[in-house]
A and B are shown apart, each in its own frame.
Chain A
Amino acid sequence: MTGRKEPRYVGKRVIKADALEKVTGAALFGADARLPGMLHGKVLRSPHPHARIRAIDCGKALELEGVKAVVTVADLPPFEEAKAAFGGELMIDQVHLRKLTIAHDKALFEGHAIAAVAATSPEVAEAALELIQVDYELLPVVENALDAMKEGAPLLHEDLYTDTLGERPKAPSNIASIIEGGWGDVDKGFAEADVVLEKSYETQMVHQGYIEPQACLASVDADGNVTVWVSTQGTFNAQRQLSALLMIPLHKLNVVPLEIGGGFGGKIYVMLETLAILLARKSGRPVKMVMTRAEVFRGTGPGSPAYIDVKIGAKRDGHLTACYAKMILDAGAFPGSPVAGAFMVGFAPYKMPHFKQEGYDVVTNKPRVQAYRAPGGTAVAFAVESALDQVAEALGIDPLELRRINAVEEGDLMTSGQKYNRIGLKQLLERVAQHPAWTQPSSGPNRGRGLALGAWQGAVLTTTAQVIANTDGTVTVVTGQVDVTGTRTTIQQMTAELLELPLELVKVNVVDTHSAPYTDLSAGSRTTYTMSVALKNGCQDLVAHMKRLAADLLSHPESKVRPEDVNYSNGRFWASRGSEQPSVSWREVAERSRTRGPLVGQGNSGRLPPAPTFAAHVADVEVDQETGKVRLLRYTCFQEVGKAINPQQVEGQMQGGAGQGIGWGLFEYYFYQQGKLLNPTFLDYRMPTALDLPMLDSVLVEVPASEGPFGARGVGEVPIVPPAAALANAIYRAVGVRMSRLPMTPENVYWALQEKGAGVTPRGHAPVSSSRGS
């Protein structure tokens, strides 16, 4: 535990701890759990996007043979006025979570759960759903945030009043809150500018697209103890939510994590779990529930669509004078769109003398959004980075140069007004400037190159781990921290490094909520960063315990060794006094725990500052003028990663995030018509395939974070931020059209090309029902 030498494991391409399980099919995911006597649960979902529920009749369903339980909102425990909000990347009010779980008096989106059935087979459960009679009174549909904000728009919630800094409004509204941020005086800043650019942008609702549908298995024993097996990003988060919704004390509610087949922010809130527990309680049998893909599209929490107006002022020399953005984010059926995330990201890479942003959190008849990788970030970066590209063009300055001129450094302000600690944006941009992906010209007709930056401040919260010295000399790290993306491996690497022990001796055990102390969820690019600190503390604590035992082992009757005289390095404890320098091995000391009690180091991440990260993506595209199809020729992701604990996994994060961002930019959107989703399949909701993407080159730049034993930063979120903007900028360089609305499908690009040719103003040709002006 000394300030060391060349790292042995940190920074190495160590093979994933769970690789073998996953390449052999042995790993158990959400849908793989089963119990004897298990029933199958299915959910009846509203076919209407907005409807009052006059009555629900489950009588016929209960008469069907094999049906063991039916639940509706009436089966939830009595409603208590608890207003606690739940952590997560996007907060949700408990009352809203209750209403989201199962419709109360109104169905608020197509796919809203109305009732659930448990039966002896999936077929019987499905047949039973059709026997449930619901009397709906159809209500007018609020399709998008702009309509929702209009005077006289139909209300989703009669008790929702806009939350502003000012007075409480007199009438309810679909605008849940309006927030503002910034500094200085933007009007003054724009007056000082030589160039002012103003433009509006629009992005669509998209889905995280995890390949594993939500699934869970719930079991209730005779004493009312509940066990639920889930695929979730946070077991303790799920436990607290379930406890509050079902009024089950925490100690009677065990949440067991299964492998999670992708989450990206979409597996934070409980959905099926609540219903599964209710059904299991009512039927007295374990209940398993698995969503279909269409249910995943309609009934889970996608990513928020946004309308963003941007105004940027700059001096002739490229210095920004003022930046302004107004962001209207659609939260779906209940408040909680990622306005805070959007605020954090948009202008984060730049120094701005005057700065203002306004954010609107608006409800509509769509599924309640959840976090989606850097929530809010992709949309706002699409707007800001596209606009900046136009500013660069107007000023005749190279787009990379414009960003370098304005790039933030340590001590500059984050968008929150706090100061940046150590960051590496300058170094990142320097690397871009020298890289062939930027310096080699992109040539050929209809080809162009685009650049865009992204930022993510990084969530922090609290992380815990216990480091246990086993009697055989191995080490087990026990934590409730769910492994979403490879943290078992990085935990193994960091622990071996910190304890100076061979990697093979360290095993990581991710356990249920009854077997580990509380830890926050795995999200927001927080896990590796905060875990590095928790492990450092845990390992130090463990070594301190072991030094006390080692001191005894090293003592003779004639010379007593005190714990403070023991040094530890490379698997041995040394007495630092005395001529012979005797030592004992890690294993010899660890063996003593058979008689001297447990050797456990307690690790907690404590209160950490954020470790902000930046990314720059460079895209080369070719646009087919006749069809509007955009072909990706080359794609390079540059990212400042602090210290890559496992470069292979960091690259994987960068490539995966870029892939999702490219899909968001080019293909993906929820196609709604009158609040009904027309494309709830992977065929029609078009995610990138291997044929759509080139190799995704990744360039890692390392500027250590201010805190943490290795300087690691969270790396997962930021790579999804730049792609849409980088592609839009590339398309402009290729064919001269500025795309202001996502996705940039062949159709949308085609129409933009037509309009450019014809010199007419764009008017919603996109097959997107929520588009402005269509």
Chain B
Amino acid sequence: MALRIPPRIPLRTTINGDPYELMVKPYQTLLEALRDEAGLTGTKEGCGNGNCGSCTVLFNGLPVNSCLVLAPEAQDGHIVTVEGLAKDGRLDPLQKAFSQHGALQCGICTPGFLMAARAILDSNPHPSEKVIRAGIAGNLCRCTGYDKIVRAIMAVARGEVD
């Protein structure tokens, strides 16, 4: 007896600026494709159904829960994951701020928060605390109580981190 599994399909997409040609299962999520096919395990799965935000990546500039995007949807798309935040060996200010402000403890939620925060700042470089909280409300963190995460993002928004 064999399970009937539909054949894989080619996926051409840009991840963190690099071209990727992956063979993905038609029902595979973008999260699975990133982790299992592209080997980019920085993006995490906390729930697999859109409720925790730990799988957040930027898809054509917008934050998405990659567990809710089918991999084939990313055809010819531009994906940025946590691995792509640092550029030319320079950390993104958010990465520095999270470190300096103690905005991570266990760190499992951190990639998702960094991407969500990047999306907030990309669309609004000077967000209020309220805007920041709304922007990360889809991301769960169980370790920090959010205080230091919000402060870290505010510090970047105020230009306190280079």
How many angstroms between the C-alpha atoms of A464 and B87 in the bound complex? 40
- Pairwise interchain contact A690-B137, C-beta atoms closer than 8 A: yes
Q: Which residues of B contact A35 (CB under 8 A)?
A: none
Chain B residue nearest to A663 (CB atoms) is B142
Instruction: Report B1-31 CB contacts with A as 1/0, cut-off 8 Å.
Output: 1110100000000000000000000000000
A70–B90 Cα distance when bound, in Å, is: 48
Residue A212 interfacial (CB < 8 Å): yes
Q: Would you call A696 and B147 a contact (CB within 8 A)?
A: yes
Compute how far the CA of A25 lies from the CA of B143 in the bound complex, rounded to whole angstroms.
18
Q: Which of B35, B100, B105 has a CB less than 8 Å from the CB of A15?
A: B100
Query: How many chain A residues touch the partner (CB < 8 A)?
Result: 64
B140 in contact with A652 (CB, 8 Å): no
Given contacts A25-B40, A655-B148, contact A682 B5 (CB under 8 A): no
- Is B66 interfacial (CB 8 A cutoff)? no
Q: Give CA–CA (A277, B35) in the complex, Å.
A: 24
Contacts of A135 in B (CB 8 A): none
Q: Is B109 an interface residue (CB 8 A)?
A: yes
Bound-complex Cα distance A25 to B16 (A): 13
Q: Are A64 and B2 in contact (CB under 8 A)?
A: yes
Please give me the residue from chain B that is nearest to A649 by CB atom.
B102
Which residues of the partner chain A approach B146 to less than 8 Å between Cβ atoms?
A: 655, 659, 688-690, 693
Q: Does A262 contact B (CB under 8 A)?
A: yes
Contacts of A25 in B (CB 8 A): 40-43, 81-83, 111
> Is B106 in contact with A259, judged by CB distance below 8 angstroms?
yes
Q: Select from chain A the residue with minimum beta-carbon distance to B134.
A: A691
Q: A212-B106, A682-B52 are in contact. Are A693 and B95 (CB under 8 A)?
A: no
Could you tell me the distance in whole angstroms from the C-beta of B109 to the nearest C-beta in chain A?
Answer: 5
Please, how many angstroms separate the alpha-carbon atoms of A262 and B52 in the complex?
14
In the complex the two chains form, is B142's CB within 8 Å of A690's CB? no
Whether B107 contacts A261 by the Cβ 8 Å rule is: yes
Q: Quick one: given A19-B98, A212-B44, A485-B143, are A681 and B104 in contact (CB under 8 Å)?
A: no
Known: A655-B145, A689-B137. A24 touches B47 (CB 8 A): no
Report A721 CB to chain B, min CB distance, Å: 15
Instruction: Determine if A22 and B143 form an interchain contact, defined as CB atoms under 8 angstroms apart.
Output: no
Docked Cα-Cα span, A31 to B46, in Å, equals: 10
Residue of A nearest to B107 (CB): A22
Q: How far is the CB of A268 from chain B (nearest CB, A)?
A: 15
Whether the pair A293, B143 counts as a contact (CB closer than 8 A) is no
B144 interface contact, C-beta 8 A = yes
Tell yes or no: A660 within 8 A of B by CB: yes
Name the CB-closest residue of A to B97: A23
Is B143 in contact with A652, judged by CB distance below 8 angstroms? yes
A317 beta carbon closer than 8 Å to chain B: no
Among A292, A687, A689: residue with most chain B CB under 10 A: A689
Contact between chains at A681 and B133 (CB < 8 Å): no
Tell me whether B144 and A691 are in contact (CB under 8 A): no
Distance (whole angstroms) from the CB of B47 to the closest CB of chain A: 4
Q: From residue A183, how far is it (CB to closest CB) to chain B in Å?
A: 37
Q: Is the CB of A655 within 8 A of B42?
A: no
Complex interface: chain A residues within 8 A of B51 (CB) = 293, 681-683
Q: How far apart are the CA atoms of A259 and B114 in the complex, in Å?
A: 19
Cβ-defined contact, A29 with B108, below 8 A: yes
Q: Which residue of B lies closest to A698 (CB)?
A: B147
CB distance from A196 to the nearest CB of B (A): 37
* Min C-beta distance of A720 to chain B, whole Å: 11
**Most chain B beta-carbon neighbours within 10 Å: one of A63, A211, A263, A682:** A211
Known: A25-B83, A213-B46. A262 touches B108 (CB 8 A): yes
| Residue A26 lies at the interface, judged by CB distance under 8 Å to chain B | yes
Min distance, Cβ B141 to any Cβ of chain A, angstroms: 7
| Residues of A with C-beta under 8 A to B33 | none
Q: Name the one of B41, B46, B149 contacting A28, with C-beta atoms under 8 angstroms.
A: B41
CB pair B142 A210 closer than 8 Å: yes
- 0/1 string, B37-74, CB within 8 A of A gives 1: 00011111111110110100000000000000000000
Among A65, A262, A696, the residue within 8 A (CB) of B143 is A262
A619 within 8 A of B: no
Q: How far is the CA of A16 from the CA of B83 in the complex (A)?
A: 19
Chain B residues lying within 8 Å of A652, measured Cβ to Cβ, are 102, 105, 143-144, 148
Is A127 part of the contact surface with B, judged by Cβ < 8 Å?
A: yes
Contact of A261 with B44 at beta-carbon distance under 8 Å, contacts A19-B98, A210-B106 already known? yes
Residues of B within 8 A of A209 (CB): 140, 142
When chains A and B are docked, how far (Å) is the Cα of A553 from the Cα of B94?
49
Residues B46 and A259 in contact, CB atoms below 8 Å apart: no
Docked Cα-Cα span, A293 to B101, in Å, equals 29
Q: Are A23 and B83 in contact, CB atoms less than 8 angstroms apart?
A: no
The answer to whether A651 and B102 touch (CB under 8 A), given A211-B108, A691-B137, is: yes
Partner of A64, one of B1, B49, B107, B142: B1
When the two chains form the complex, which single residue of B48, B107, B144 contacts A259, counting CB atoms closer than 8 Å?
B107
Q: Are A23 and B110 in contact (CB under 8 A)?
A: yes
Q: How far is the CA of A225 from the CA of B143 in the complex (A)?
A: 36
Chain B 108-125: CB-based contact to A (< 8 A → 1; otherwise 0)? 111100100000000000
CA distance A652 to B98 in the complex (A): 12
- Interface presence of A308 (CB below 8 A): no
In Å, the complex CA distance between A124 and B1 comes to: 11
Instruction: Give Cα distance in the complex from A121 to B2, angstroms.
Output: 12
Residues of A within 8 A of B35 (CB): 32
Query: Which of B49, B86, B147 is the one whose CB lies under 8 Å from A24?
Result: B86
Q: Which residues of A contact B134 (CB under 8 A)?
A: 691
A19 near B106 with CB under 8 A, answer: no
Question: Measured between C-beta atoms, what is the minimum distance from A633 to chain B in Å?
Answer: 14
Bound Cα distance from A191 to B108, whole angstroms: 54
Complex Cα distance, B100 from A13, in Å, reads 9
A527 to chain B, nearest CB (A): 14
Return the contact of B3 from the options A65, A486, A660 (Cβ within 8 A).
Answer: A65
A655's nearest neighbour on chain B, judged by CB, is: B145
Please state if B133 and A690 are interface contacts (CB–CB under 8 Å): yes
Interface: A270 (CB within 8 A): no
Q: Judging by beta carbons under 8 Å apart, are B106 and A693 in contact?
A: no
Q: Tell me if A153 counts as interface (CB < 8 A to partner B).
A: no
Task: From known contacts A292-B48, A681-B49, infer whether A211 and B137 are also in contact, taking CB-CB under 8 Å.
Answer: no
- CB pair B105 A656 closer than 8 Å: yes
Q: By the criterion CB–CB under 8 Å, are B99 and A15 in contact? A: yes
Q: Mark A26-68, 1 if CB is under 8 A from B, else 0.
A: 1111011000000000000000000000000000100111100
Q: In the complex the two chains form, what is the Cα distance from A317 to B109 in whole Å?
A: 50
Which residues from B are CB-within-8-Å of A90? none
Q: Is A84's CB within 8 Å of the partner chain B? A: no
A63 vs B1: C-alpha distance in the bound complex, in angstroms?
Answer: 6
Tell me the bound Cα distance from A64 to B2 in angstroms. 6
Q: Which residue of A lies closest to B54 (CB)?
A: A211
- From A27, A63, A681, B107 is in contact (CB under 8 Å) with A27
- A658 interface contact, C-beta 8 A: yes
- Cβ contact of B144, chosen from A24, A260, A655, cutoff 8 A: A655
- The reply to whether the CB of B79 lies closer than 8 angstroms to some CB of chain A is no
B81 nearest CB neighbor, chain A only:
A25
The interface centre, meaning the residue of B40, B45, B106, B140 with most chain A CB atoms within 10 A of its CB, is B106
Does any Cβ of B come within 8 Å of A484's Cβ? yes
Q: In whole angstroms, what is the CA distance A165 to B42 when docked?
A: 53
Chain A, Cβ-Cβ closest to B129: A695
Interface residue? B136 (CB, 8 A): yes
- For B148, what are the chain A residues with a Cβ–Cβ distance below 8 Å? 648, 651-652, 655
Which residues of A have CB within 8 Å of B151?
Answer: 695
Q: Give me 28 A-to-B residue pairs in the complex whose CB atoms sit less than 8 angstroms apart, sorted by A's number.
A: A15-B100, A16-B104, A19-B98, A21-B107, A22-B104, A22-B110, A23-B91, A24-B42, A25-B81, A26-B42, A31-B44, A210-B142, A211-B54, A211-B109, A212-B108, A260-B106, A261-B109, A293-B51, A652-B143, A656-B143, A656-B144, A656-B145, A658-B145, A659-B146, A683-B51, A687-B142, A690-B139, A693-B147
13 extra interchain contacts, Cβ-Cβ under 8 A, other than A211-B46, A659-B146? Answer: A19-B99, A24-B42, A24-B85, A25-B82, A28-B41, A124-B3, A211-B106, A262-B108, A648-B102, A648-B148, A649-B102, A656-B105, A690-B133
Kindly list the 8 A-B residue pairs having the minimum CB-CB distance in the complex, ordered from nearest: A25-B42, A261-B108, A659-B145, A22-B107, A655-B145, A682-B51, A25-B82, A19-B99
